[in-house]
Each structure stands twice: as structure tokens, then as C-alpha cells.
Amino acid sequence: MSEISFHELEKKVKKVKIEAFVIYKGNTRIFEYLKNKKVVEKPSKVYSITKSIISLLIGIMVDKGLIKNIHEPIHHYFPEILEFNDPVKEEITLFHLLTMTSGLQVGNFQGSKNWVKFILDQPMIHKPGSTFQYHNGNSHLLSAIIQKISGTSTASFAEKYLFHPLGIHKYIWVKDPQGIHGGGFSISLNVEDMVKLGFLFLNEGQFHSKQLISSDFVQQMIRPYKQVDTTINEGTYGYGYQLWTYESTTNNTQIAYYYASGLYGQYIFIVPKLNIMAVVKSHLQYDEQSTPRLFFEELLGSWMGK
């Protein structure tokens, strides 16, 4: 880990609207840029990192036997699907929601009075499992399923089995009009709580010697089920269970990592081979939001090339 690399990273980070960028090797914080104290303590929106938290909660339900089979049809939870008399829609499973392959048309459900109903009412435009289509609706249905199975709110289930064991107390989680916590983009966290989630991933579901989610499910989460088309030639992006994956060859050395990401430059990066974890909070413009990821890849390249 080069001091020169860190010095270059800090110079770059200060030029754009990145508010926090911390990197750990194992339990040791090896790089830290924090714009101010507020960014450390005050929760702010992490947008689609919410999706990865929802996926962890589904994994906890699988571990506890509350979900018997990730490939079961979701009409078990939403029997109203059967009223459409659409055999293709009836094929949608939890696995399809997790991997963004439900086949449902993407619709702007946030403006509707009933988010779940709006999402389920959308027509099928692909056969389930055939096509990757990033869709907040998939994640929100998962949150609704967590509520249905647990008999409590998604946040209450999360508090008991994930947030409290991790020591996450300062979160904000917005609900839909029916009181279902948003599954796609609705959580606010501070930097240190994002770090705790990062450690949970880095240690394959373990936190402070306690296994909160099975390593088996974490391995399922980080497997790329679908490759994602990009304009970048040297890397392959994929999608697991509400997580992104990346593999590239830089300087003839393979780099593989996975990450949770949210709008405007929120990231939790995990590099298992190097025992590296990084967290970023930003207020970047839409067309700049991949900047932290490019900075991180460049840093990894400088290490792996030596």
C-alpha cells in the first residue's frame, strides 16, 4: 500500500464533491478523508445501498428458515398476481427480484398511492430470469415480502437481526403510503454505520465474532448472475443479489471486487483477495457519480501492478 498512491487519491478526492472516503485493510483504517465532522455523525441518504441491506435481510430470513426456497414464486406472498391470469407473471420468484430479472416493466411507482399494487400491475416485457433490468420496484417488493413474512415492519426486523447487532442506531428509513419501508432507495446512514456494513461483508457475514448472516448466503449475494453491458472494454460488471460485481485485468493482474452503490456517489467496496474494504459518501452530479469507483479502481491497479 503506497503512501504515494494515497497522496494522489487525497488530491483527487478534494477536487470533487466527495465528502468521505475511508479505506480499511482488515480492521486497520489505512486511508481517511473526511470533509467535516457532520459527514461522520449525521445520517444522509445512501440511496440504492438500501437494496443491499434488503438483500441481507432476505438472507437472514433464509438462514432462519422463514424463507424455505429463494426460487419460490412471489405469488405466494402476493396472491393478487393470480388474478392477472398471466402464466409468465406467475413465474416471478424471489431470486428474480434479487437479481433484477423479474421481467416487469419499469414504472415510476413513487408517484402512486399504492407502490406495491402499481409495481405488480406493470406488464411483463421479458420472461423472468432472462434479462437484467435495474428496477427499484423489484427491491420494494422484497421489502413488502419481509414485512409479510415477519409480521412486523422491515425496519423492526432489521433492527432486531441486523442493525442492533451492528450497533447501527442513527438511521432514517422512509416508508411508502402503506407504511412499507422503501426497499430501493430510502435509507439514510452515516459513514461509520456504512463501515459496519462493510465489515459484515468483508468478514463474510460475521461481525465481532458473531455470524449475523451465513457466509453461504453472502457468497450467493456476490456471485454475478448477469453480466451488465458497459462501454468500458477492460472490465466486466455483473449483478448478484442487489450488489454489483466487477472483474478486470490491469497490468496482467486480475482485480475482482464487489460493491453496494447509491445515487450521487455512495459506495461500499469489498476486495476479498486483498482483505480491503472502502466506504465513500458523496454529493456528486449524476454524470460524475462513478468518479469514486474510478478512483478506487485506479488505486487498486497501482497496488496490484507492483
Residues 241-267 have pLDDT tens digits of 999 999 876 556 678 899 999 999 999
> So what's the pLDDT on residue 176?
98
* Of 293, 298, 270, 272, nearest in space to 282 by CA: 293
Average pLDDT over every residue of 75-90: 97
Residue 54 has pLDDT above 90, yes or no: yes
Q: pTM, whole model, 2 decimals?
A: 0.95
Strand, helix or coil for residue 277: strand
pLDDT at 233 over 60: no
- The contacts of residue 82 (CB under 8 Å, 6+ apart) are 75, 90
Domain parsing of the chain, residue ranges? 3-304
pLDDT at 250 (0 to 100)? 59
CB of 57 within 8 A of CB of 157?
yes
pLDDT for 248: 79
The domain defined by 3-304 carries CATH number 3.40.710.10 = yes
Report the run of H or E that residue 294 belongs to, with start and end: helix 291-304
CA atoms within 13 A on the CB side of 252: 1
Joined together, the cell numbers standing for residue 249 give 485485468
Q: How confident is the model at residue 41 (pLDDT cuts 50, 70, 90)?
A: confident
Query: In this structure, which amino acid lies at residue 102?
Result: S
